[in-house]
Amino acid sequence: MIAKGQNIAFQFYNKTFNIVADSSFNVDFKDKISEKSIHQFYNKVNDSNYQSLVNTLVQYKNENQLNDWFYYQLVRKTVQQISPKEDNYERYTLYKWFLLVKSGYDTRLAIGNDHQLLFYVWSDEDISDIPFFTSNKKQFVCLNFHDFKNANYLTDKVVPIGIYIKEAINSFSYKVTQIPDLNPADYKGKLLTFNYREKAYYFNVKLSSNLQTLFKNYPIVDFESYFNIPLSKETYSSIIPLLKKNIKGLTQKKGVDYLMRFTRNAFLYENDNDIYGKEKRLSPEQTLFSDYSDCDDRAALFFYLVKEIYNLPMITLLYPTHITIAVKFDKPIGTPISYKGENYYVCEPTPQKKDLKIGEISPSLRKETFQIVYQYQPNKN
């Protein structure tokens, strides 16, 4: 039971987050999941003194410029303090839904097979691996499908709950433009090494396992969103300045070649299906953290490094079984890929049977068709 005005504090990334939850906000939920029982819970919580709690959450979000995905993590941690997931999953889910709704997000509930309580949010972004339904031309994607391992959302019947909150008008974005400040004490060094022009290079990169937790249930997003996920400040400061130092004095071509071979050779390759049992796209920092990575992960890391250090125009080439990056240089290099009147040159960041130079395409791909799934123009992004 939460006492009136009791302060609840917990660690949220690099800060202590303090909330005050009024005792009236403590509403039991022991009924079987149904539209009626959910309505009753909502009415009781809606009559409570919840506004100061919501104000604190939204104020923290705004002050720390949290992207929606990280704001949802804040809501999750807050609810875990009030109604632990392991004690009453349905109550935990209802509180998450309520706080997101009162934060302005158009969020819905639905009942799946076996009375599973499903939790959706409006997002019209291209999310490829999450169950969804459409209502009034809006796409609602499921935020908690991963909690039900045996559910089949392609065939299972899902019944939306008819609760609509007029102030809940905002869509939810999965775009990550800034990593929250993590606790510096949680970072540990990881040694990366590769050889370039018969010289060994070593990097002691600072990485935090908390970053893995941040992206634990992060979905497969569109390529523009995926390729623009940044590094955290600690990781950035441990690798980007050193990379810049190592390529100082090199020509543009040789500098990009260095970054290409770093991305290609500093990590072991393994297919996602063999590691995770499904397709999973790692952010650049996750790729640095992980022991293994595939072509998606390396393409994203290489894109980030070239963008951060040289800020050159790039395109992403998607083949049926591969993805790679082509860069626009000041001078022609090898065989170009022409796109919208500009010439780009493939820089393969994933190990291939042949040691490919800039401008060379793997022989196995030369006759394959590809799509340009993302174009980066420095002055337009």
Contact yes or no for 52/31 (Cβ under 8 A): no
Does 112 lie in the same domain as 227?
Answer: no
Residues 122 and 222 in one domain: no
Rounded Cα–Cα distance for residues 355 and 30 (Å): 62
Q: Looking at 98, 128, 160, which one is the last position of a domain?
A: 160
Please indicate, yes or no, whether residues 259 and 294 belong to a single structural domain of this protein: yes
User: What is the mean pLDDT of the segment spanning 13-21?
Assistant: 87
Report DSSP letters for 182-234, one per residue. Answer: PPGGGEEEEEEEEEETTEEEEEEEEEEHHHHHHTTT-----HHHHHT----HH
The verdict on 240 and 305 lying in the same domain is yes
Domain count, the chain: 2
**260-319 tens-digit pLDDT:** 999 999 988 777 666 666 667 899 999 999 988 899 999 999 999 999 999 999 999 999
> End of a domain among 102, 126, 160?
160
- Report yes or no on 203 lying in a domain: yes
CB 94 within 8 A of CB 43: no
Q: What is the pLDDT of residue 275?
A: 64
Same-domain pairing of 221 and 304: yes
Inter-residue contact 301 to 349 (CB < 8 Å): yes
Distance CA 80, CA 372 (A): 42
* Same domain, yes or no: 89 and 138: yes
Give a yes or no: residue 170 inside a domain.
Answer: no
Domain span holding position 306: 184-376
* Backbone φ and ψ of 330, nearest 5°: -70, -30
Comparison of pLDDT for 372 and 156, the residue scoring more: 372
pLDDT value of position 344: 97
In a domain, 179, yes or no: no
Same domain, 143 and 286: no
**Residue 302 shares a structural domain with residue 155:** no
Q: Considering the domain boundaries, does residue 211 fall inside one?
A: yes
Please give the DSSP secondary-structure letter assigned to residue 314.
E
- 136 and 210 together in one domain: no
- Does residue 76 lie within any of the structural domains? yes
Asked, for residue 152, whether it belongs to a domain, the answer is: yes
Residue 3 has pLDDT above 50, yes or no: no
Residue 258: pLDDT above 50? yes
Residue 173 in domain = no
80 pLDDT exceeds 90? yes
Q: Write down which residue in 128, 160, 192 finishes a domain.
A: 160
More confident residue, 179 or 130: 179
Tens of pLDDT, residue by residue over 193-202, are 999 999 999 9
Q: To the nearest 5 percent, what fractions of the chain are helix, strand and coil?
A: 35, 25, 40
Whichever domain contains 334, its CATH number is 3.10.620
109 and 247 both lie in a single domain: no
Query: Domain check: are 138 and 253 in the same one?
Result: no
Does 59 reside within a domain? yes
Question: Are 156 and 196 within one domain?
Answer: no
